[in-house]
Every structure is written in C-alpha cells, then in structure tokens.
Structure 1
Amino acid sequence: MTPQQIEQVQSSFAKVAPIAEQAAVIFYDRLFAQVPAIRAMFPQDMREQHKKLMATLAIVVGGLGDLPTVLPAASALARRHVGYGVTPEHYQVVGGALLYTLEQGLGSDWTAELAAAWTSAYTLLSNYMITEAYGAPATA
C-alpha cells in the first residue's frame, strides 16, 4: 500500500466511525444475504459482535502505517477463525461485504480510487491472515 492509500483508508474510516453500529448492521446483513450458512457461525444476539467488528477494524486501520504492530493480532484472529469454521473462501465474501458497507456508509465520498485503496488494504491483510491460518493465500 502506498502512503496515500493508507491515508485514504484511515480518513474514510474516520467518517464511518460515527455510524459504527449502523455500519456493522449493514456489514452483517450483506454478509448473511450473500452466504446464509455463515449466520450459524455467529451468536443470535449480534450487538457484541458488532462492537468487536468495528473495534477490530479501528485497530487494523489505525495500524496500516506500521503493519508490524497489527500483524500478531491479525495472525491470532485468523487462527481463531479456523475454529469457527471459516474457510479461505469466506475471506472474499467478507471483503465484498466490507466494501459494500463502506460504499453505503460513505455515500458520495466513495470513489473508485477509495475503493482501490480499501481493496488493497483488505487484500494485504486477508492474504496474510489466510497464510497464517491455512499456509497459503487463496487466489482471488
């Protein structure tokens, strides 16, 4: 990622943070609509999960400029997700739900350039997590 892309991701996430609960609802609604079987991996009451999602995103986005600070947590998260039944293929669906959520949350501030920056960030982190959990990144 370029420094400009990191800045774009961080500044756009700052615009989504005030609507964190709504963004989390959009994300999970989209995820479950895309792959209904994933719903069984989550608790019935999603409020705590919404908070965890947004807190994790905040940490990762905040650490993009210094990746070594977030990679150990990303590795641990990836390994935990294996136990929940997450497969490498799920990462692509999650990425799509994330981009959709950002597009909805940012409205007219969502541009092709910003989408590319977020795609770069997500691809970097998801490939790392897949490698940590399964040994090799999935091809997109």
Structure 2
Amino acid sequence: MTPQDICLIRDSWARVEPIAETAVSSFYQRLFDIAPELREHFASTDMAAQHVRLAQTLGAAVANLDDPATLVPILRKLGETHAGYGADVGAYDKVGLALLWTLENGLGPDWTPDTREAWTRAYGFIVENMLIGAASAEAA
C-alpha cells in the first residue's frame, strides 16, 4: 500500500466510524445475503458483541496500516483464530465483497475508484496475513 492508499483509507474510515453500528449491521446482513452458509458459523455468537469486535478490529487495522510490525502479528493471530472457526479462502472472498459493498453504501459519493482500490489493496494485505496465521495454526 502506498501512503496515498493509507490516507484514503483513513479519511474514508473517519467518515464511516460515526455510523459504525449501522455499517457493521449492514455488513453482516450483506454477508449473509451473499453467503447464507456463513450464518451457521455465527449461530452461537453474541452478534452485538461481534459487531463491536469487527468495528474495533477494522479501526485497529486502519490505525496501524503504516506500522506493519504492529499490524502483522495481530492479523496472523486473527487468522489462527479464524482457522478454528473453519474460515477458508472462499469465506474471506465473500467477506471482502461484503466489506467493499458496505463501505460503498456508507460513503456514497465519497466512495471513489481510488478509495475502492486502496481498500481492496488493504483487504488483500489483511487476508494475506490472516491466511499465513491460519496456515501456521493448521501446521501446529
């Protein structure tokens, strides 16, 4: 990611944060619309708490995009945890689609092609490191 990507992501996240509760709710609705099979992974989950965790995790990722020494271990640990939930590459792809859709809908006209590309690159970085963590967990 470039410094411009990081600025675009941080600027757009600053616009989403005030509506984070609505955005996260929309995210999960969209995720379950496009991937109803993932709903079973959340059957015993306190979704209100899950909404808070997702918003906090995204906020932490955004805050540390320019500090990979801090962000990468967090993402790899998250990947290890998600491996235990049965998350696979297909699930990550669907989460990415739902995330981009949510950001686009939340940002409206502030969702530019450059912002989309920046978030796409950031999500790719996040997934890459989570998958490394998942592979590490599976190898152990």
Q: Which structure carries more relative contact order (alpha carbon 8 Å, separation 6+)? A: 2
Q: Which residue of 2 aligns with 1:68?
A: 69
Aligned pair 1:129/2:134, yes or no? Answer: no
CA shift for structure 1 position 71: 1.1
Structure 1 residues 29-86: Cα deviation after superposition (integer angstroms, max 9, x where no partner): 0111111111111135411100000000000010001111111111111001011111
**Paired residues for 1:28-107 under 5 Å:** 28-42=28-42, 43=44, 45-107=46-108
Distance 1:3 1:22 in 2: 28
Distance 2:31 2:135 in 1: 22
Question: Which one-letter code corresponds to 1:69 in the other structure?
Answer: T
CA shift for structure 1 position 112: 0.7
Q: So what's the TM-score if we normalise by structure 2?
A: 0.92
Q: Which residue of 1 aligns with 2:26?
A: 26
Instruction: Mark the CA change 1:45 to 1:129 in structure 2 (over 3 Å): closer, same or farther.
Output: closer
- Give aligned-pair identity as a percent: 44
Question: Which one-letter code corresponds to 2:5 in the other structure?
Answer: Q
- Provide the secondary structure at the position in 1 that maps to 2:67: helix
Q: Comparing 120-129 with 14-23, which one deviates more in the overlay?
A: 120-129
- Provide the secondary structure at the position in 1 that maps to 2:86: coil
Distance 1:123 1:14 in 2: 20
Question: Which one-letter code corresponds to 1:106 in the other structure?
Answer: L
Aligned residue pair count: 135
The runs of 5 or more residues in structure 2 that have no matched partner are none
The runs of 5 or more residues in structure 1 that have no matched partner are 136-140
Q: Comparing 112-121 with 40-49, which one deviates more in the overlay?
A: 40-49
Q: CA RMSD in A?
A: 1.1
- Provide the secondary structure at the position in 2 that maps to 1:65: coil
Q: Which residue of 2 aligns with 1:2?
A: 2
CA shift for structure 1 position 131: 2.2
